[in-house]
Amino acid sequence: MTTDDIGGRYDHRMRHRHTDAVGSAVGALADSVFADPQRGHPVAVFGSGVAASQNVLYRDDRAHGAVFAAWWIGVGALCGVLARRAGTAGTAAATFSALGGTSLCRIGDEIAAALESGDVDGARTAVAGLVGRDTTRLDETGICRAALESIAENTSDAAVAPLFWGAVAGAPGMLGYRAANTLDAMVGYRSEKYLRFGWASARIDDVANLVPARVTASIVGALSGRPREVWTAVRRDAGSHPSPNAGVVEAAFAGALGISLGGRTEYAHGVEDRPRLGDGPPPTAADLRAAVALSRRVQRASAAAAVLVRAGSGRYLP
């Protein structure tokens, strides 16, 4: 291979990274303006395909679940490859499809507004769209806690993590991650039905979020102005959470806001007694507002960082 060949490949990679960076920026901006479409969202279409295939392919064992997870994550990554080949517009569409942070924050504001106006039933209905737990008997404190825990976890899952994987691997990374995260949400629960079939999906999602969750916690500490409190809560409390990643970001938000999270949590598959995260009182509607504002700052910072990393990574990343 000649020096000209090497130089030509490097120039091509740099142009490719520039296209990725611009597309990621456009997609992130589109999410901040438009949020998730109400109908025909690509993730919803993907989920429908997963659900339909599960009716045929489900078996109560880990091996079938692992093949199922590998197949659908591969489908997601392949969609990302095709999007990348479409250039800036394709990467922008992939980024927009992978992100869900703006919708997350809008629902958080809606819940806070309902509580501030005394509409507990309306807040309870709205929070049901964010969480998988039983919301029918939640009081105001329970609603605030459920919403805030979801905002913390999904700031990582729906914003920082897809941007992280986009910075590492472009559109295939983003959509492959989104596929893994969707599979975990659909079959990764610790119910009797999915204990074995969903095992691989849950473990893959855990691995995919190990770094992004800790990046999220670091950004929370930096932007909240309370890095010591965030570090203390994460170091002391996160390890007692049943999730290796949700505990990190929930503890980070608790430390940043000076509140406590955790407690009895009822799901369709059973009751969990979640550990206490952070110090201070349980969250209020005002804390929920603060969490939404913090989440938005974290999302903007992570989008800017992902674009910069992608733009300057021509020599090192795919």
DSSP 59-93: -SSHHHHHHHHHHHHHHHHHHHHHHHHT-HHHHHH
Beta strands 270-277 and 261-267, pairing class: antiparallel
Report pLDDT digits (tens) over 226-253: 999 999 999 999 999 989 999 999 999 9
CA distance 286 to 18: 41
**Number of other residues whose CB lies within 10 A of the CB of residue 95:** 30
The pair phi, psi for residue 117, each rounded to 5°, is -90, 0
Percentage with pLDDT > 70 across the chain = 91
Spatial neighbors of 106 by CB under 8 A, at least 6 apart, are 35
109: exposed, middle or buried (Cβ count in 10 Å: 0-12, 13-18, 19+): middle
Tokens, residue 270: 């059973």
Instruction: Pick the more confident residue, 260 or 138.
Output: 260
Our measurement of the distance from residue 164's CA atom to the centroid of its chain's CA atoms, rounded to an integer in Å, reads 11
Q: Which of 188-192, 253-257, 302-306 has the lowest mean pLDDT?
A: 188-192
Answer yes or no: is pLDDT of 128 > 70: yes
Q: What is the predicted pLDDT for the residue at 8? A: 45
CA distances from 167 to 25, 150, 309 (A): 11, 24, 6
Q: Do the beta carbons of residue 172 and residue 77 sit within 8 Å?
A: yes
Q: Do the beta carbons of residue 21 and residue 310 sit within 8 Å?
A: yes
Report pLDDT digits (tens) over 70-103: 999 999 999 999 999 999 999 999 999 999 999 9
**Mean pLDDT within 185-209:** 92
Q: What is the predicted pLDDT for the residue at 49? A: 95
CA distance 248 to 210: 9
CA distance 278 to 281: 9
CA distance 57 to 242: 29
Answer yes or no: is pLDDT of 270 > 60: no
> pLDDT band at residue 314, thresholds of 50, 70 and 90?
low
Instruction: Pick the more confident residue, 266 or 277.
Output: 277
Report the mean per-residue pLDDT for the chain: 90
Report pLDDT digits (tens) over 289-309: 999 999 999 999 999 999 999
Q: Do the beta carbons of residue 302 and residue 159 sit within 8 Å?
A: yes
Q: What is the predicted pLDDT for the residue at 130? A: 86
Q: List the beta bridge partners of residue 277.
A: 261
